[in-house]
Chain A
Amino acid sequence: MKREIPLLIVGITGFAMLIQYFIPTDWSEFIFTYSQDWVIVIGILALPLGIWSLIKANVLKLKVPDERFYSAVLLAGFLAMLVTGTKRESLEAGSTFMTIFTNVLIPIQATIFSLLAFFIASAAYRAFRARSVLATILLVTALIIMFRFIPLGPISTANLSAVSWILSVPNMAAKRAIMMGIGLGATATAIKIILGIERTYMGHD
């Protein structure tokens, strides 16, 4: 019974969600919205667990001299956002919460992402070498795509046509083949889970 009941729940829920997707009636909408509430409730229950885990791990790290500073910054940031973000007014422009968000969080995230440009440049320098026929095709394609960002007068118009062809024909053919493979694989896995054939998600005890 320890394994059969969860399998039954998954099977019934899976079939119910599958059927409601294709039959838009009042009862199917009710099933959908009701099950959706359940998903949100489960997600909310996971949230305190994550917060507790984060605080616990970083409070413990406060005792480690090398990691003390970073954990202190994290906990201070966490508390600052928590305290300033509790009021409804804190969501509006000009509040302390929004000031911290705009002047600390946005620049930090933007900076981290900007570093990617440096790594891409270095990787492109080493990777885009015409070592073989396939590497040469990749190199030429990459150059054509990159040239579209540079205004080159009449050459730009011809280059735009080449870019359009690359994206719409070879790129699309490859992407579609991959997507169809993924789609069929996902469908097969979902059917196996609903029918109880695939059980690895339940663990092994």
Chain B
Amino acid sequence: MPIFDQGYQHWSGTLSGHGWRWLAITRHGVRIGMKSWFLRIVILLGWVPALGLAFVLCLWGLVEQKSNLVAPFLEILARLFPQLVADPRHYRVEVWTICYDYFMLTELRYSMILIVIVGRTLISQDLRFNALPLYFSRPLRRIDYFAGKLGVIVAFVGMVVIVPSLIAYALGLLFSLDITIVRDTLPLLLSTIAYGLVISVSAGLFILALSSLSRNSRYIPIFWLVIWLGSAISGFILEKADRG
């Protein structure tokens, strides 16, 4: 035994209340997830559409100012859509909406991949390593456990959907140098946040349900893919039938 070993010491710190206990699970899940280089790459790739969104919004900001920086682009645009260049502010909401629409559509598909990568192990690994007795012998309710695990998915989806869209919005605002842009596009921003939350909560609940079905997390992407593609195909067929 080392000479400086003091053996067991009592601890006299304070414990937090029960209300935020789920946050410990979320923080831990995010930390463990970020250890994976594969997941880090997936998140970085998820930022590529956001870069595109930010680029277009910034470009549009400069178009609205008729900046010399985008003079060649303005010339091309003037030939194609002369009314657009004549009064770009008039088309602001449409342009921003189209940009965000494409961004969210891309991120929706990307989120489905991200959610399955993050979510498949969240409960199945706890089942495999029999971690549930360790959780529930501590002051934790089932809802805390579940909320903590869902929080992990919301955090990761937020990283590729909500945070980039907020940054792109801020950049677009900065490049337009016009505060009225907030009045025009704030509902768009709020809708984006709400859309990100809806995606992460609904798909997150579903992947957690799948994750709790098996101790082997390898099967879960297969279930996920079958249900995702199956529901898309069914939706397509029903839509065609309805129109036909």
Bound together: no
B interface vs A, CB < 8 Å? Answer: none
A interface vs B, CB < 8 Å? Answer: none
